[in-house]
Amino acid sequence: MNFLELKNISERYLDLVNPTHPEKILTAGRVAGMKKDSRVIDFGCGYGEELILWAKEFGITGFGIDIRPAACERAREKIKSQGLENRIEIACGNAAEYEFQPQSFDIATCIGATFCWKDGFREAVREMQRAIKPGGRLVVGEAYWSHSDVPAEFAQRQPSITAERELLRMARAEGLELIYVLHSNHDDWDHYESENLRGLSDWLDENPMHPSRDEVIQHLHESQEEYLQYGREYFGWALYVLKPGT
């Protein structure tokens, strides 16, 4: 099983696939100026939950793109079940290769998926900025190191993670101004990590003879160890609302 297939298993109980909370997602949308018929593009949209929340609260129209067929299918099912199929469209593909029309969206979002682009956060905000109209906003969800003394053995496993001040530096270097930040707390992290563990554990109970069982057990154990040993202490995560510089 590759990493995304393991995610299909572990994320069954999660709608938002990040250590955050629906209220924070709505606050980010409000600060970004979402309103009726705002056009929002969401890169790496997962199960479409952010677009669904924003469509219900603000009446936006959304376009989401995700590389995982199972995520796209689940997103489309939920969108339909909420009667939002005329407001939200989901495309299955590589966000970094999607050819959007420049300056055609009011708000561009990428929540926990800047790794879609080879150069991560910096390339993501550059591309997102191309997608928005003058006066538009970006919403980015990103992990960062919350301490400067991250053990080398853990830091080496996560080469794309950086300090929050470095995210700010990169955003400014791309001509963006930070206008709002919503940090995640330990409860957000516990919820996200624990629901992933529960998804894996329940799958193992339901699939006693599955040929990939050992891989799933290994992933479960590594996830437990990584979170309790390092992640809880050294990982931060936040939603950033950005606008082109003044």
Ligand X SMILES: C[S@@+](CC[C@H](N)C(=O)[O-])C[C@H]1O[C@@H](n2cnc3c(N)ncnc32)[C@H](O)[C@@H]1O
Which is closer to ligand X, CB of 44 or CB of 199? 44
Residue for token pair 């894996």 = 200
Residue 37 burial (C-beta neighbours within 10 Å; 0-12, 13-18, 19+)? exposed
Partnered with residue 240 across adjacent β-strands are: 140, 181
Residue 118: CB minimum distance to ligand X, A: 10
Residue 47: CB minimum distance to ligand X, A: 6
Which is closer to ligand X, CB of 68 or CB of 87? 68
Q: Which of 245, 246, 187, 239 is nearest to 29 (CA)?
A: 239
Which is closer to ligand X, CB of 123 or CB of 164? 123
Q: Are 146 and 234 in contact (CB under 8 A)?
A: yes
Residue 155: CB minimum distance to ligand X, A: 20
Q: Are 119 and 96 in contact (CB under 8 A)?
A: no
Longest dimension (CA), the chain: 60
* Secondary structure element (H or E) that encloses residue 231, with its range: none
Residue 115: CB minimum distance to ligand X, A: 7
Residue 18: CB minimum distance to ligand X, A: 4
Rounded Cα gap, residues 178 and 138, in angstroms: 10
Which is closer to ligand X, CB of 73 or CB of 177? 73
Residue 245: CB minimum distance to ligand X, A: 25
Which is closer to ligand X, CB of 92 or CB of 204? 92
Residue 13: CB minimum distance to ligand X, A: 13
Contacts of 129 (CB under 8 A, 6+ apart): 108, 138, 174, 175, 176, 244
Residue 152 burial (C-beta neighbours within 10 Å; 0-12, 13-18, 19+)? exposed
Which is closer to ligand X, CB of 113 or CB of 149? 113
Interaction site with ligand X (CB under 6 A): 4, 16-18, 44-46, 49-50, 65-68, 71, 94-96, 111-113, 116
Rounded Cα gap, residues 84 and 67, in angstroms: 21
Which is closer to ligand X, CB of 126 or CB of 148? 126
Rounded Cα gap, residues 8 and 5, in angstroms: 5
